[in-house]
Amino acid sequence: MPISQWWSSLFSALTPDSLAVSTATNAIGAQVQLEGVQKVFQEGEIERTVLNQVSFTFNPGEFVVLLGHSGSGKSTLLNLISGIDQPSAGTVRINGLAITELDERSRTLFRRDHIGFVFQFFNLIPTLTVLENVALPPELAGKSPQAAQREALRLLDQVGLLDRQNTFPDKLSGGQQQRVAIARALVQKPQLVLADEPTGNLDGETGERVLQRLLSLTRDAHKTLIMATHNPEIAQHANRVLRIQDGRLTPVIVHPDALEEAAA
């Protein structure tokens, strides 16, 4: 989803009763259950089954890596878990709540309040400062500007960017921009964090540092982290590694050779 659409869906959802959405993810670390999840894309005459009857449970607090070749369905799966997209069939439950049964507006609100999403290309708003970018989610959720800024500053401190709070994103390095995006994803204290190739656009050393920051912030707070990546080295840090192939999700045995194969 393009960034403008993503953010405008958050703005349009900001209505007085927006806080009435379920708070099912208040527990430490969200559980994510996939039950018979099917995703079929139609392109003209052709039907492409990207996910075929996928059933799987992500446990609270674990870090799971999704590997799979380009086009295998990693982003599709993350989009279904976040409620950005809907499956063709099947159910996604987050802490027991079937988000696939919510209407689009409720899914948007649920996502805003309970799920942190980190994208490969950061998706920061170029016309807002670093501080304003990170303060936006709590402001949209109804916090006062002062409270939202307090929260944002706390997160910017945690990602080591307090001194760049008044800078605009285009003045930052890629690694710094991704740290801002991580701060924004975590500012609402989500118990579920989804990351779609968060280091895919960074050089090896910068990517490793950004990864370590994301891992320590999620692990220390016992958050559930699901990350799609092409990088088999990242899988070494995971509690579990899955491979998507031919519409199926299968566990990978964490052995360096097996990882290279699964990521190829």
Ligand X SMILES: Nc1ncnc2c1ncn2[C@@H]1O[C@H](COP(=O)(O)OP(=O)(O)OP(=O)(O)O)[C@@H](O)[C@H]1O
At 232, list the tokens: 């088999």
* Residue 142: contacted member of ligand X, Mg ion, none (CB under 5 to 8 Å, by partner type): none
At 204, list the tokens: 């090896």
Binding site for Mg ion (CB under 5 A): 74-75
Binding site for ligand X (CB under 6 A): 41, 43, 48, 50, 68, 70-76
* Residue 73: contacted member of ligand X, Mg ion, none (CB under 5 to 8 Å, by partner type): ligand X
Backbone angles phi, psi at 169, to 5 degrees: -50, -35
Q: How far is the CB of 230 from ligand X (least distance, A)?
A: 6
Instruction: Return all residues near 171 (Cβ < 8 A) that are at least 6 apart.
Output: none
- Residue 174 or 200: which CB sits closer to ligand X? 200
Backbone angles phi, psi at 193, to 5 degrees: -120, 130
Q: What is the dihedral of CA 211, 68, 111, 98, to 10 degrees?
A: -140
Q: How far is the CB of 95 from ligand X (least distance, A)?
A: 24
* Residue 37: contacted member of ligand X, Mg ion, none (CB under 5 to 8 Å, by partner type): none
Q: How far is the CB of 73 from ligand X (least distance, A)?
A: 4
* Residue 177: contacted member of ligand X, Mg ion, none (CB under 5 to 8 Å, by partner type): none
Write the DSSP symbol of residue 17: G
* Residue 87: contacted member of Mg ion, ligand X, none (CB under 5 to 8 Å, by partner type): none
- Residue 165 or 199: which CB sits closer to Mg ion? 199
Q: How far is the CB of 198 from ligand X (least distance, A)?
A: 12
Q: What angle do CA 30, 212, 237 make, to 5 degrees?
A: 65
Nearest to 189 by CA among 123, 109, 115: 115
Q: How far is the CB of 1 from Mg ion (least distance, A)?
A: 12
Q: What angle do CA 215, 216, 222 make, to 5 degrees?
A: 85
